Amino acid sequence: MNRNSRWKLARSNWDMYALLIPGLIFLLLFKYTPMYGVVIAFQDFNIFSGIKGSEWVGLDQFQKLVHSDDFYQVLTNTLLISLYKIIILFPIPIVVALLLNEVRKMLFKRAIQTIIYLPHFLSWVVISGLFVTLLSPTDGLVNQIITAFGGKPLSFLQDNSLFRSVVVFTAGWKEVGWNAIIFIAAIAGIDQEQYEAASIDGAGRIRKMISITLPGIMPTIVLMFILRIGSLLEAGTEQILTMYNPLVYDSGDVIGTFVYRMGLGQQDYSFSTAVGLFNSLVGFILIISGNMLSKKFLKRSIW
Amino acid sequence: MHSKKINEYALDTVIYVILIALGLSTLVPFITVLSKSVSEEWAITSGKVNLLPVGFQLDTLQYVVTNHQFLHAMLISVLVAVIGTLASLLITAMTAYPLSKRELPGMGIVIVLFVFTMMFNGGIIPNYLLIRQLNLIDNLGSLVLPGLISVFNMLVIKSYFESLPQSLEESAKLDGARNFTILFRIMLPLSGPVLATIGLFYAVYYWNDYFNPMLYINSTSLKPLQLYLQDIVMNADSSSFKMSAEDMMNVPAEGVRAATVIASTIPILLVYPFLQKYFIKGVLIGSVKG
């Protein structure tokens, strides 16, 4: 198509461009303006002087970050919580999908699915509320069971050695069922003839699960895994914000919560933005490399 | 042959036991909180309430749901969720439609601009400063405007539009219809399932949003339910709950906390069964493509 006819096409569809206006305003104002705002990471930002009036300090904030013990603690916490979540919580939805696939009684299958999807629709605040009650040191069910077996009650949400486990467990409780949906869908897409052929060869159900179902959903598993790695530095800011307290900052403070505390709590806007920028950059690099790997090995890209 | 059958039974038993255990572990937190919200005060404080309620009373629940602050926070949340969902659906669909026409000049670039924001963002502080600059602190607009378009949702609607037959639009154009009319009269009415699903995702987002209100809302009179709930849940003493001395005597903090959690969950529990058929479809629309 030459230039002239492209222009003609655009002009005759002028109202398409008009439809785009609210979306573009949103994009520029709420997405790209904050991206421009990250320049305050290179300033000693003063809220009264604004971006134009504040002093430029180059990489000072990043030097402060590199020399900050708090930052290393926070980075360690973020990576640990995130890695635990990946290692422990990534395989479970796959297993759940495989097991659900073996259930022949539709009513039972649907009942279990309905129940395990439900927590996905609750907010982190509600879930924290549920678990604060369940884990209460004085009258929570879990501690009543522990004491019934002669153990000592544990303060799950105040103890640095337990807090991360609670974070990982509750994240699993919320999302395992929901995350299984995608694998259930992938299993439904497997060619049924393969199963029939395997039956004729005398394969049992476990054999079929290992030799047909699992390889059949492997591309989906790898794709989901790459996507998951892309959000490695997201250990669950909102989740932890609703659960933690100063007693467990040592084990539970992650990049997102640290940025919030430093920035809005202590008004250290520039330093906080520098930490946030570090977070965004690493996340960006992870997603881009994940997509490249996916293109190369799966011949399939995420976007 | 016989042993094979026994093996089958054993396998089935294992599968059923695991799945039932999974189902129960999902339900137990709800059940314990529900039990505490309807148990007698003395039973809670003396640690007698395990899984099942001890005694039965609805006073605590009634106290919570008739509490002025609770109702007010609930109202704010409903308002934000309804307005936010409708506005989001409208603007997302309006944006998705032109972007589904890749042959129009410029659309490719705009898509790239949107997708880029999925991978990179300014972060908490620049966003906060923007909202402050726009004078939206302590304004409910701060809860709706920044979430108007979810790029993921927009891409789902866009790919749905792309899957609709082009001949519909062509014949409408021959009749002299403009794109604007085609979108609202033809495309949207044909997009019921996808709009319902995306509407559900937006509604859940606005209803559950805790982070934006925490950042942008300080005034008690504008606190949505999640923020109010967090005050109750995290303050072991129920000081944020304005109670008279007499109330304090009758209503245990633990019971009030449990009842507030239950009362905030009820709206979701009520609509959940009706939504289920949509969201499974929606997840599939969004994920299987590619």
B11 plus B79 within the same structural domain: no
Q: In chain B, what residues touch A277 (CB-CB under 8 Å)? A: 123
Q: Which B residues in the span 152-191 are in contact with A, Cβ-Cβ below 8 Å?
A: 154, 178-180, 183
Interface test with A, best of B124, B205, B210, B264 (most A CBs within 10 A): B124
Residue A164 counted as domain residue: yes
Per-residue pLDDT of B217-242, as tens digits, reads 999 999 999 999 998 877 654 344 44
CB pairs under 8 A between A and B: 264
User: B248 and B185, same structural domain?
Assistant: yes
Contact (CB<8Å) B276/A114 = yes
Asked if residue A194 belongs to a domain, the reply is: yes
Instruction: Looking at the structure, tell me whether residues B108 and B246 fall in a common domain.
Output: yes
pLDDT number for residue B287: 52
How confident is the model at residue B249, as a pLDDT? 47
Residue the block writes with tokens 């062509």? B170
A152 part of a folded domain: yes
Q: pLDDT digits over B174-202, tens only? A: 888 889 999 999 999 999 888 988 998 89
Residue A290 lies in a domain: yes
Alpha carbon separation from B210 to A86, A124, A143, A168 (Å, rounded) = 24, 8, 29, 20
Q: How far is residue A79 from each of residues A289, B120, B159, measured CA to CA in Å? A: 18, 19, 35
- Cβ–Cβ below 8 Å for B113 and A7: no
As a whole-number percent, the residues of chain B with pLDDT over 90 amount to 56
What is the Cα–Cα distance from B97 to B109, expressed in whole angstroms?
Answer: 15
- Test A276 with B123 for CB contact under 8 angstroms: yes
- Supply φ then ψ for residue A43, to 5 degrees: -125, 170
Instruction: Tell me which chain B residues have a C-beta less than 8 angstroms from the C-beta of A276.
Output: 122-126
The last residue of one of the domains, among B40, B56, B72, is B56
Annotate B203-272 with DSSP letters as a single string: HHHHHH--HHHHHH---GGG--HHHHHHHHHH-SS-TTS---HHHHHHS-HHHHHHHHHHHHHHHHHHHH
Are the C-beta atoms of residues B256 and B64 closer than 8 Å to each other? yes
Q: Considering only residues 68 to 107 of chain B, which have any Cβ-Cβ distance to chain A shorter than 8 Å?
A: 91-92, 94-95, 97-99, 101, 103-106
Read out DSSP for chain A? --HHHHHHHHHHTHHHHHHHHHHHHHIIIIIIHHHHHGGGGGEE--TTTHHHHSEE-TTHHHHHHHT-HHHHHHHHHHHHHHHHHHHHHTHHHHHHHHHHHH---HHHHHHHHHHHHGGGGS-HHHHHHHHHHHT-TTT-HHHHHHHHTT-----TTT-TTTHHHHHHHHHHHHHHHHHHHHHHHHHHTS-HHHHHHHHHTT--HHHHIIIIIHHHHHHHHHHHHHHHHHTTT-S-HHHHHHH--GGGHHHH--HHHHHHIIIIIT--HHHHHHHHHHHHHHHHHHHHHHHHHHHHHHS----
- Contact B260/A205, CB-based, under 8 Å? no
The minimal CB distance from A35 to the residues B36, B91, B120 is found for B120
Is residue A186 in some structural domain? yes
Taking contacts as CB-CB distances below 8 angstroms, the residues of chain A near B18 are 99
User: Residue A290: which pLDDT band, with cuts at 50, 70 and 90?
Assistant: confident
ipTM for this model:
0.90
Closest residue to B126, CB basis, from A37, A144, A206: A37
The whole-angstrom separation of Cα A61 and Cα A270 is: 7
Contact (CB, 8 A) for B80 and B144: yes
The alpha-carbon gap from A277 to the nearest alpha carbon of chain B, in Å, equals: 7
Which SS3 state, helix, strand or coil, does residue B104 take? coil
The token duo for A261 is 């505390």
Q: Note the pLDDT of residue A203.
A: 85
Q: Does B276 touch chain A if contact means CB atoms closer than 8 Å?
A: yes
Q: How far is B199 from chain A (nearest CA, A)?
A: 14
> How far B245 CA lies from chain A's nearest CA (Å)?
24
The answer as to whether A79 is a domain residue is yes
Q: First CA to last CA across chain A, in angstroms?
A: 26
What residues 214-273 of chain B have any CB closer than 8 A to a CB of chain A? 214-215, 226-227, 229-230, 232-234, 254, 257-258, 260-261, 264-265, 268, 272-273
Q: What is the pLDDT of residue B238?
A: 39
Instruction: Flag whether pLDDT at A222 surpasses 90.
Output: no
User: Comparing C-alpha atoms, which of A68, A70, A83, A234 is closest to residue B123?
Assistant: A234
Residue B245 pLDDT class (50, 70, 90 cuts)? very low
From A15, A30, A111, residue closest to B178, measured CB to CB? A15
For residue B18, the SS3 value is helix
The C-alpha atoms of residue B39 and residue B55 are separated, in whole angstroms, by: 5
Query: Confidence band (pLDDT; 50, 70, 90) for B124?
Result: very high
- The nearest alpha carbon in chain A to B286 belongs to A182
A112 → closest Cβ in B23, B178, B233: B23
The residue among B30, B56, B82 that closes a domain is B56
Residues of B in contact with A205 (CB under 8 A): 8, 11
How far apart (Å, rounded) are the C-alpha atoms in residues A295 and A301? 5
Q: Check residues B274 and A86 and name the one with the higher pLDDT.
A: A86
Domain-located, residue A184: yes
Both B36 and B138 in a single domain?
Answer: no
State residue B252's pLDDT score.
52
Kindly report, residue by residue over B135-189, the tens digit of the pLDDT.
999 999 999 999 999 999 999 999 899 988 888 888 888 888 889 999 999 999 9
Do both B188 and B51 map to the same domain?
no
The candidate with the shortest Cα–Cα distance to B272, out of B210, B206, B204, B209, is: B204
**Rounded distance between C-alpha atoms, residue A268 and residue A262, angstroms:** 6
Note the residue count of chain B. 290
Residue with structure tokens 């000072």?
A: A60
- The number of domains in chain A is 1
For B32, the closest of A103, A141, A256 (CB atoms) is: A141
Residue in B with minimal Cα distance to A139: B47
Would you call A16 and B179 a contact, using CB atoms and an 8 Å cutoff?
yes
Query: Do the chains contact at B183 and A173, CB–CB below 8 Å?
Result: no
The contacts found for A141-144 with CB under 8 angstroms, 24 or more apart, are A141/B28, A141/B32, A141/B50, A141/B51, A144/B47, A144/B50
Distance CA A233, CA B68 (A): 40
Which residue, B56, B71, B86, sits at the end of a domain?
B56
Our count of domains for chain B comes to: 2
Is residue B216 packed enough to be buried (19+ CB in 10 Å), middle (13-18) or exposed (0-12)?
Answer: buried
Same domain assignment for residues B151 and B211:
yes
Quickly tell me which residue has 């002009």 as its tokens: A11
Distance from CA of B269 to the nearest CA of A (A): 8
Which residues on chain B are in Cβ contact (under 8 Å) with A10?
104-106
Instruction: Return the structure tokens found at B211.
Output: 């982070």
Distance between CA B39 and CA B56 in Å, rounded?
5
Asked whether residue B115 falls in the same domain as residue B21, the answer is no
Between B71 and B7, the higher pLDDT residue = B71
DSSP, collapsed to helix, strand or coil, labels residue B66 as: coil
User: What is the biggest distance separating any 2 CA atoms in chain A, rounded to whole angstroms?
Assistant: 84
CB–CB of B126 and A35 under 8 A? yes
Give the tens place of pLDDT for each residue, A41-75.
999 998 888 888 899 999 999 999 999 999 999 99
Contact A20 B99 (CB under 8 A): yes
How many C-beta neighbours within 10 Å does residue B239 have?
10
User: B171 and B73: one domain?
Assistant: yes
Q: How far is it, in rounded angstroms, from Cα B129 to Cα B145? A: 15
Q: Do B129 and A269 touch (CB under 8 A)?
A: yes
Residues of the domain holding B12: 1-56
| Cα–Cα distance measured from residue A134 to residue A140, given in angstroms and rounded to the nearest whole number | 5
B31 vs A: CB within 8 A: no
Kindly tell me the sign of the dihedral angle through the C-alpha atoms of A86, B213, A123, B199: negative
For residue B273, give the CATH number of its domain: 1.10.3720.10
Q: How far does B93 lie from chain A, in Å, by closest CA?
A: 9
Across the range A206-224, mean pLDDT stands at 90
- Computed over its alpha carbons, how large is the radius of gyration of chain A? 25
- Tell whether B50 is within 8 A of chain A (Cβ): yes
User: B40 with B117, same domain?
Assistant: no
Place of tokens 């490719």: B108
Indicate which CATH number applies to the domain containing A177.
1.10.3720.10
Give the pLDDT of residue B136.
96
pLDDT of residue B209: 95
- Average pLDDT in chain B: 86
Which one of A139, A190, A227 makes the best mutation probe of the B interface by having the most chain B beta carbons within 10 Å? A139
Residue pair B36/B252 in contact by the 8 Å Cβ criterion: no
Residue B290 in this model has a pLDDT that exceeds 60: no
Q: How many CB atoms lie within 10 A of CB A39?
A: 17
Q: Answer yes or no: do B65 and B49 share one domain.
A: no
For the segment A139-187, what is each residue's pLDDT rounded down to a tens digit? 888 998 999 899 999 999 999 999 999 999 999 999 999 999 889 989 9
pLDDT of residue B1: 53
Distance between CA atoms of A112 and B22, rounded to whole angstroms? 8
Is A43 inside a domain boundary?
Answer: no
CB contact under 8 A, B104 and A16: yes
Q: Which domain holds residue A65?
A: 61-298
Task: Tell whether B119 lies on the interface with A, counting CB pairs under 8 A.
Answer: yes
Distances from the Cα of A102 to the Cα of A86, A184, B16, B276, angstroms:
25, 11, 9, 22
- The Cα of A144 is separated from the nearest Cα of chain B by a number of Å equal to 8
Those residues with Cβ within 8 angstroms of residue B38's Cβ, 6 or more apart along the chain or in another chain: B53, B56, B57, B58, B60, B61
Rounded CA gap, B157 and B201, in Å?
Answer: 12
